[in-house]
Amino acid sequence: MTKQYLLTVRYFFPMMLLVLLLFFLWQGLQRDPLQLPSPLLNKPMPTFTLASVENSKKRLTANMFFGHVSLLVVWSSWCVNCLAEHAFLLNARKDSRLQIIGLNYRDRLLSARHWLSQYGNPYYKVIFDPKGLLGMNLGVSGVPESFLLDEKGIIRYKQIGPLNEFIWNTEIEPRLGG
Amino acid sequence: MTFYYLLLVFSFLVALLQCVIPLWGSFWQRVSWMQLAKSMAWIQFLLLAIVFFGLGLAFFNNDFSLLYVAQNSNSHLPWLYRVCAIWGGHEGSILLWVFMLSVWTVAVSLSSKKLTLPTLAQVIAVLGFISAGFLLFLITLSNPLMTTVQIIMEGRDLNPLLQDPGLVFHPPLLYMGYVGFSVTFAFAISALLQGRLDREWGRLVRPWTLSAWCFLTAGIISGSWWAYQVLGWGGWWFWDPVENASLLPWLTGTALIHALLTLEKKELLKTWVILLAILTFALSLLGTFIVRSGILVSVHAFAVDPWRGIFMLGLLTLIVGAALLLYAVRVQHFTVKPHVLPIFSKEALLVSNNILLSVAAFTILLGTLYPLVIEVLGLGKLSVGAPYFNRVFTPVACLVLFFVGLSYLVNGTQTKVMQLCTRSICLLAISIGTSVLLLIFFTHGLQWKVMLGLALALWIILNTLYVIWRSKKLGLRQILQTRGAMLLAHFGVAVSAIGIILSSTYSVQRDVRMTVGDSVQLGVYRFILQSVYDLQGPNYTGAEANLQLINATKTYLKPQLRYYPVSNIALSKPAIDIGLWRDLYVALAEPLNDNTWALRFYAKPFVRWIWMGAVLMLAGGLCSIVQIKSKK
């Protein structure tokens, strides 16, 4: 009787293995494997010396991030999704708790200027990075991307993809403090 | 597009009926209900063909009102890539999957003369069930025909990595393979439902399994070749989760082909064959799931909606879970003859082949899912790389090579043990000797691992030659007719093994910075950088270098570095000088300043043999199908 029973049970082994596998797959689905914390998180802003989009003779450096909470937004004139977050940024400019700084990434100077005059300029200053050098140091994988820096110029948060009301309320607002 | 969407909904309903009506018919023995199966299969095929054609047309005409077209195409894209961009994204590749399934279903109904009506009805019903599941996914969560109210002037472009002739062949071939195992699966379910499994079943199923296996092999070859010549990393296999996902059903499918042979000849391994048929299709589904849910980090994965992953996991659970439950309950009803396997018999060898291939598949599955398991258990993040896979896979592969060679010496069920031992020792000694001599002569060194691998590959080749030589008495023709397919496929295994061993051991790589006019030495080859100039493609800009190989033929190599502005991706397109004995491979990495470039050079001996061997295996599979068909 027991032998017969054991013989029957063994046919259920594949099923049990499947259940185990499904458990792990199910748990795995709840996580995002790409969501690695950025290595730059809680690190200071990489140093750079780049021209400004508004005035090509003016040099901008990482010093501009000191003394102010800043939101660094990576954008390009050829990027369709940047337009999607643009209206939101124009609105967010009114918030006096932070300065919004643009990083114009892999773009032409004239198209960048034209884009800003056409759609409005939400930025306090815009860094011109035609070869994507600063972008590379920041680990930018696509546009738009945004970084939130505290008044000491330390990166506190990174957002991949366009900003919106929801991300602002859940991720940015709590980090701004008072 | 609403029209096409309606057709898609309609084909879902047809798939449901295709599942329910024939199945009921087979239970209540209603002939007319069962006969409906065929026409349902055809209707579904036609509906899906129209939808597929419609989506293709939308891509061809740059209809960006379709969200899926806007996300995966661009009007500057050459038309062939535009059309193939159908399967460049998530939704379209699921559509391709379902379409392939309907192609296989129609193929079953076309060659249904040898099937009994209940079997045909049940097989088509199971295929209809799978199809209904995926179609429900398409019409709810993954609709490729979604329109957008926004006016989009230009599409987001196809991922540049996909803009290669590889896109035309690789996904359809691979999916044909994945989906093809559903036919074997459906036959297994039908056998479980009827509680009957005999030699005839094996004879019916083997051509289907072989066809699916051939497609999968072709899919893997094209994928590996594509990776080699596009990604610019100079490798042909990366043990990436998605590559593993295609290798898993290939290994179990290979085991299944051999197990079916045993079933057909000796009526052995009944429960194992059924389990293997279910597992092979389960692994195909798992492969689709891994690629399309983004659960593992991979070069193939894209961020996706979490609900999609949940739905696909549910579908996987339903299909495989139901099958395994049925297996557990019904498989005991098969009549199993008590049988003792002599150690030196064909059957024993086939069983050992099955064990080895299953072990190989299991270790790869383990390595692929290990990072996930560790993460779920909260033990941190890690990735399992090539070293693990190489270490666990190599011993199994060596044993497989040994047994493949041995299989030629064992003929019939019982072989004289003494004779077998002397022959195999002789041939082994000859192959080891040849291997040592070749290595010392060509490389002036002797690495024992390479020597062993090469010896095992030579051992298969020597055995093949021995069979052909001995067959002079029996008639070469007869041998080729009865065993030709096997000889060809196994010879292919040896050729691939030689390619893998030699190219992975003796490849040379150099990263250099060069200015125009510089030359570089790589082994015995010398390259001069003649010029670098700008490149203007239809949807990319970039640079092309012109390198001359200083040898008798004065070959020019022109690697490119392309920049795709729409998707903001830079892509290096290497130049390869192809040769039977070695490939020379140059990739243009990045500009260091105006005149200086970083370049990467590889010399890869025997790398071409890997694919040559795989093509021989494929040819073996095809021959085997022809053999079965011509016997009838």
| Residue B379, helix vs strand vs coil | coil
Q: What angle do CA B155, B160, B164 make, to 5 degrees?
A: 115
Q: Which helix (H) or strand (E) holds B536?
A: strand B525-536
Residue A33 to residue B369, Cβ atoms within 8 A: no
Instruction: Write out pLDDT tens, residues A70-111.
Output: 999 998 887 777 777 888 888 888 888 889 999 998 888 888
B275 contacts A15? CB cut-off 8 A: no
Contact A11 B296 (CB under 8 A): no
Four-point Cα dihedral B460, B464, B466, B472, nearest 10: 180
| A31 closest CB neighbour out of B289, B369, B375 | B375
pLDDT of B248-279, one tens digit each?
999 999 999 999 988 888 888 888 999 999 99
What are the tens digits of pLDDT across the range A36-74? 556 777 888 888 888 998 888 888 888 888 888 999 999
Task: Tell me which amino acid residue B29 is.
Answer: Q
Strand B582-591: give its sheet, edge to edge: B508-515, B596-605, B582-591, B575-577
**Residue B244 CB-half CA count within 13 A:** 28
Q: Can you name the residues that pair with B560 across neighbouring β-strands?
A: B544, B573
Give the separation between CA B286 and CA B269, rounded to whole angstroms: 25
The nearest alpha carbon in chain A to B293 belongs to A29
Residue with tokens 């259940």, as numbered in its chain: A19
CA–CA distance, B281 with B412 (Å, rounded to integer)? 32
pTM of the model: 0.83
Tokens at B346, concatenated: 């064909």
Nearest CB to B373: which of A12, A24, A79?
A: A24
What is the per-residue pLDDT across A120-176, written as a single tens digit (0 to 9) for each? 899 989 999 888 888 888 877 677 888 999 888 888 888 877 788 888 888 888 888
DSSP annotation of A154: B
Asked whether the beta carbons of residue B313 and residue A142 sit closer than 8 angstroms, the reply is no
Let me know the angle formed at the C-alpha of B604 by B600 and B605, rounded to the nearest 5 degrees. Answer: 160
Identity of the residue in B313, B327, B565 whose CB atom sits nearest the CB atom of A11: B327
C-alpha B37/C-alpha B25 separation (Å) is 10
pLDDT digits (tens, 9 = 90+) for B174-226: 999 999 999 999 999 999 999 888 888 999 999 999 999 999 999 999 989 88
**Which residue, among B103, B75, B70, has the nearest Cα to B89 in the 3D structure?**
B70
Q: Which two tokens stand for residue B625?
A: 């199908």
For each of the domains in chain A, give its residue range(s) and CATH number, in order of start. Answer: 49-176 (3.40.30.10)
Q: Which candidate, B627, B611, B380, B368, places its Cα nearest to that of B498?
A: B611
Q: What is the ipTM of this complex?
A: 0.81
Tokens standing for B72? 């995966």
- Axis crossing angle, helix B31-60 with helix B2-28, rounded to the nearest 10: 160
Please report where in the chains the tokens 């199809």 appear, as a residue: B131
Chain B touched by A78 (CB under 8 Å): yes
Length of chain A: 178
- pLDDT, one tens digit per residue, over B378-388 is 776 666 777 88
> Which pair of tokens denotes residue B110?
């076309």
| Nearest in space to B85 (alpha carbons), one of B176, B167, B1 | B167
Average pLDDT over residues B229-251: 82
Nearest-Cα distance to chain A for B259, in Å, is 18
Cα–Cα–Cα angle for B554, B555, B558, rounded to 5 degrees = 140
Domain boundaries, chain B: 2-376, 508-608
